[in-house]
């Protein structure tokens, strides 16, 4: 019987993901569909194989490097497809050696380009996940010359991998306008697979004393929780836990000091995801600020726990998945955060109802069981049935 093999091509540095405690069970092998998983990193990262094993479940794990350095960028004149032959050839030869039943790649960048060339040469199908809307989060947020150059260069490479993929898997609905602009129709929204072990339901909605509010997210301009901190500072008997790091981290600590938060605020630059998910039910309210057009992992985790969620109405189009049925949408102002938190604290029935509605909706649409099963079914649908690639 032939082994079922999956090749996963990623731009990420797995050692950094493991270092942050963000390794998720079976993330790269949902449903234990495959016997072998070959993870191809388009960098020179050398992660601890023992730590990464968890991501492929029961499969045998193989790690490979296919470095795409700045030298590749320069030699290909900013990733011009016709000048990436040497890089693509290495990818094809690696696939010829592994002979995978299916390829999964993350993003329509060099990893998507590699998958497209492998398919053209060896007739191996591939599915491609998109984790951001490039129009919004790459080109729309490019501010300096370097980021603008990279954003422009990505345009030259992205359409080919998207067109030739067997299926595009955007991780939330705000990515769809980008695909529709490019005329891409073969997609299926597949939400991020989250922690299947430690996400637990919040069953007790009696407020703690003091009230416990948690905020999780990167700390920079577009996700600046300054107004949330100032709102909590004006409230008595409310404790705020901030989880996240970024260029605004030190400044936010100064804001907390200036507001006289004292011992009522705790900053964690990072928490292992297992620990964070385990602790979420111990809080009373989840609150966050983001201008990104996304359904973030941290918000999903809070909703799946059944925490009442306070999140701002972003500047621009709203996130389709978020509504006042499952969260409290506010303006990004001290007054609005203060009013929302006060309502949730004072109105016990409303707080519990919001949390339980969020939990039911999240479990139906985004639970780890639902998302893992969906990915597993997609993999079974598109993988080579005989397990053999072209020679």
**Tens digits of pLDDT across the chain (391 residues):** 578 999 999 999 999 999 888 899 999 999 999 999 999 999 999 999 999 999 999 999 999 999 875 565 545 445 556 557 788 889 999 999 999 999 999 988 888 989 999 999 999 999 999 999 988 876 666 667 666 666 666 776 788 899 999 999 999 999 999 999 999 999 999 999 899 999 999 999 999 999 999 999 999 999 999 999 999 999 999 999 999 999 999 999 999 999 999 889 999 999 999 999 999 999 999 999 999 999 999 999 999 999 999 999 999 999 999 999 999 999 999 999 999 999 999 999 999 999 999 999 999 999 999 999 999 999 999 998 765 544 4
Q: Could you give the CA distance from residue 39 to residue 62 in angstroms, rounded to a whole number?
A: 6
Structure confidence at residue 75 (pLDDT)? 53
Angle at 357 between CA 351 and CA 362, to 5 degrees: 125
Of 28, 47, 293, 276, the residue nearest 176 (C-alpha): 293
pLDDT of residue 311: 98
Q: What is the pLDDT of residue 74?
A: 47
CB 107 within 8 A of CB 131: yes
By CB atoms closer than 10 A (0-12, 13-18, 19+), residue 40 is buried
Cβ 150 vs Cβ 51: under 8 Å: no
Q: Which two tokens stand for residue 282?
A: 């111990």
What is the CATH class of 5-190?
alpha beta
* CA 189/CA 103 separation, integer angstroms: 18
User: Which ranges in the chain are annotated with CATH 3.40.50.2000?
Assistant: 5-190, 211-366
Cβ–Cβ < 8 Å for 7, 101? no
Superfamily of domain 211-366: Glycogen Phosphorylase B; (3.40.50.2000)
Omega before 213 within 30 of 0, i.e. cis: no
Query: What span, in angstroms and rounded, lies between the C-alpha atoms of 159 and 388?
Result: 27
The pLDDT value recorded for residue 135 is 86
Q: What is the pLDDT, as a whole number, of residue 391? A: 47
Contact 247, 269 (CB under 8 A): no
Closest to 267 measured CA to CA, from 252, 281, 279, 280 = 252
Contact partners, residue 181, CB within 8 Å, separation at least 6:
135
What region does 101 belong to: left with phi over 0, alpha with psi -120 to 50, or beta? alpha
């Amino acid at each position: 019987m032939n082994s079922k093999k999956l090749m996963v091509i990623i731009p990420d540095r797995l050692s950094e993901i493991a270092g942050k405690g963000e390794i998720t069970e079976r993330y790269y092998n949902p449903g234990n569909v495959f016997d072998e998983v070959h993870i191809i990193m388009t960098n020179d990262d050398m992660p601890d194989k023992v730590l990464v094993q968890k991501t492929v479940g029961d499969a045998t794990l193989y790690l490979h490097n296919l470095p795409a350095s700045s030298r590749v960028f320069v030699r290909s004149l900013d990733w011009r497809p016709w000048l990436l032959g040497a890089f693509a050839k290495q990818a094809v030869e690696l696939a010829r050696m592994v002979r995978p039943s299916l390829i999964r790649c993350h993003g329509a960048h060099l990893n998507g380009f590699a998958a497209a060339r492998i398919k053209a040469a060896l007739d191996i199908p591939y599915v491609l996940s998109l984790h951001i809307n490039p129009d919004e989060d790459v080109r729309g947020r490019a501010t300096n010359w370097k980021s603008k150059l990279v954003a422009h260069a990505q345009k030259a490479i992205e359409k080919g991998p998207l067109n030739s993929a067997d299926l595009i898997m955007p991780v939330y609905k705000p990515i769809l306008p980008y695909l529709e602009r490019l005329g891409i129709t073969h997609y299926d929204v597949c939400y991020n697979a989250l922690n299947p072990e430690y996400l637990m339901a919040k069953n007790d909605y009696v407020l703690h004393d003091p009230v416990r509010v948690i905020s999780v997210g990167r700390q920079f301009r577009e996700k600046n929780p300054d107004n949330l901190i100032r709102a909590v500072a004006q409230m008595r008997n409310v404790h705020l836990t901030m989880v996240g790091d970024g260029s605004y981290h030190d400044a936010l600590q100064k804001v907390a000091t200036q507001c006289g938060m004292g011992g009522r605020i705790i900053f964690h630059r990072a928490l292992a995801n297992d620990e964070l998910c385990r602790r979420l039910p111990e809080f009373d309210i989840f609150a966050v600020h983001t201008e990104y057009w996304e359904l973030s992992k941290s918000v999903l985790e809070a909703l799946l726990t059944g925490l009442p969620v306070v999140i701002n109405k972003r500047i621009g189009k709203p996130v389709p998945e978020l509504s006042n049925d499952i969260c409290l949408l506010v303006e990004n102002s001290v007054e609005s955060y203060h009013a929302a938190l006060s309502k949730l604290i004072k109105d016990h029935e409303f707080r519990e109802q919001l949390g339980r509605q969020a939990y039911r909706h999240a479990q139906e649409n985004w639970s780890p069981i639902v998302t893992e099963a969906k990915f597993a079914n997609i993999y079974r649908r598109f993988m080579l049935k005989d397990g053999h690639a072209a020679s």
